[in-house]
Structure 1
Amino acid sequence: MDIELSPQDAAFRDEVRTFLRDHLPAEVKAGGAATPSVFVEPEIGQVWNAVLHEKGWLGYQWPAAHGGTGWTPLQRYLFEKECALAGAPNLTVLGLKLLAPVIYNFGTEQQKNHYLPRILSGEDYWCQGFSEPGSGSDLASLKTRAVREGDHYVVNGSKIWTTHAHHATGMFTLVRTNTEVKKQAGISFLLIDLESPGVSVRPILTSAGDHEVNQVFLEDVIVPVENLVGEEGQGWTIAKFLLENERGGSCHAPKLSYDLDQIEEAATQESDGRGGKLSDQIDWKRRVALTRLSVNALEMIEMKIVSEVAKGRAPGPQTSLTKLLASNLRQEIDLLAVDLYGPAGLQLETARPLYGDNAPSPVHSKGAQVASARYLNSRAWTIFGGTNEVQSTIIAKSVLGL
């Protein structure tokens, strides 16, 4: 979708395009394309992060005062859009987009000076410890307990579906510090070093065969008081701030559009089983067109949010709308890919990674090789970051006033 840009913004977009053309490593792009899970492995993602860090663009969502670019909301959106359309892998979202804004909005000067440079350099790699067994959509019911003893907390409990905990050096975590108040008021936001004694990480393999998530166990883990972000009992407020960034802090539509482009191009080479090409079949064309219209509509909503943020307003509950729509479209596009390749799209290679010299040979094509795994992994889109039901409730109450 094209929008009319000012000369300055058009020049910025062109600068980003040129940079991506000249500096996006081919092996990084290929690795991202062959990754069926939501998050790329650090060996791909951190390479791309380092390229952007050298350019000074890695903290593109951050204020300049904290080591970021200080770009406008529209520039940030254009950057993400051009990266998506160039086939660049997703950035390491947990530290860059979720924790960093929490640190520079709620953290102490010491926390800002220590953690923000280490996130940019890749020295620290973070995971998110929110969900627990029995506390997912009802996050306020979490039971992981942090008891203060002098200058430290003693933490006991467990976190589940913890993405990339097996790679992470630290986990930003919601813990219960007070059991005598309303459940939301007793939650605090704590940074935990995963090298601490008492921390153990147990892998969880997805139905697609990917190791992306884990369960983290915390047994008498000692955490210094200076690792508390904000005040005790402020964790719920911080979590809502963070989740707004997770749900609406990125532009989903361009990536969805790029993946749909790849499917449309591949359909020109796939047989329809009747002597023609799938791309010529009216039912297929109608299905792709309807999906394209929905993606375009999502982009207009995202641009509306960008406009609101540019005016100094918070993203607000509209981020739930983009999360809901993007999750459903992600699943629809991944289903299109499975249907595109027919029986070849049903292969489910469990070896990983699917990129590099040691990758298993695909049946039919690389696109067919990742189709089923992506379809299975994308089932999680309507669960993580708040389920579709949770997003619908937020929209009903906060947007529609029901």
Structure 2
Amino acid sequence: MNAAAAPGSGPGATTETTDPTDGSPGVFDPRPWGPAAATGVGSMPGTDVRETARMVLETLPALPFLPELPARGPGADMIGRTIGLLPDLHARVEPSGWRIADRPGRDSRRARDRLSEDLDTLEEFTQGWSGALKVAVVGPWTLAATLERRNGEAMVGDHGARRDLVAALAEAAIDLVATVRRRVPGAKPVLQLDEPSLVSVLRGRVPTASGYRTHRAVDRQEVEEGLRRVIDSVGVPVVVHSCAPDVPFALLRRAGAHGVSFDLSLLTEREYDAVAESVEAGTTLFTGVLPGDGVDPGALSDPGATVMGVRSLWRGPGLSPALLPESVVVTPACGLAGASPAYARAALAHCVRAARSLADNPE
């Protein structure tokens, strides 16, 4: 399989790749959502799959996403959803979290059933629809930091377990993208890798089962190669999301990420140069500009003010204003599962208006 080229040929350029379903050469647009786009991160409040999917598709015309509703319980959370995709890997829920199991059980079956329900709903509401469509899985390093081996220790502490998990996740991502293409023929799939624990893995901050120690930091080269294997496998644009401080923009760019999703409020001026290098290499910034746990939709009254931080980020390193509308997708800072349904709906609509304000006045 040919590796998808890392972003670097500038905004709007197509990326050569290989179709993972049949091996034929292909080309994809690394920005199928177009300029002045907005989207959500993934998780949403409530338990009504149908109503949430309908709202997301109606509110986010440029880049809707398959929502996850963790309030439905284990198996509907982001870890459970991803476990439901992994081939030949079973897990069960323990008080400490998800743990590898020897055989399929109730928890694994429930995760697969809920994902199937989500995909059925997505297919129903996208009849005759075409355009970019984002789906998410947990990235290899957050999965390794969260999923436990049989002894209760995180998989991140074992080199062989890490290697096997990366391989399984790459296969699962290929299958998910193929499923979306089959169910929604007009879709241009976009894959999001959720990596909130990426920085903890790189810095050796993942706690052991006892809580008294932490697992050794994973070598940056291994982390980069693991991400690249998953990114290169799918043949579609891949966005890596992390709502933690100190997002490793350079590492993600080298790994081939087409977009980086982050909480803009956590970005420091010392990171501006790394962000600018990513933009100039063609990476799209999915800038989180709204809190994920807000409760008052009335607070969302000024789209222009919401993206003032984006404008400051642009001016700091002297990026060209002409790059801004195509290089930025506006999002909430993180998932919206902790917000009220009214705020979640209003926040997504506000992101759409904020993205348009950037396009209307990029200076």
Q: Answer yes or no: same fold by TM over 0.5.
A: no
Higher relative contact order (CA 8 A, sep 6+): 2
Greater C-alpha Rg: 1
Higher helix share: 1
TM-score (norm 2): 0.28
TM-score under structure 1 length normalisation: 0.26
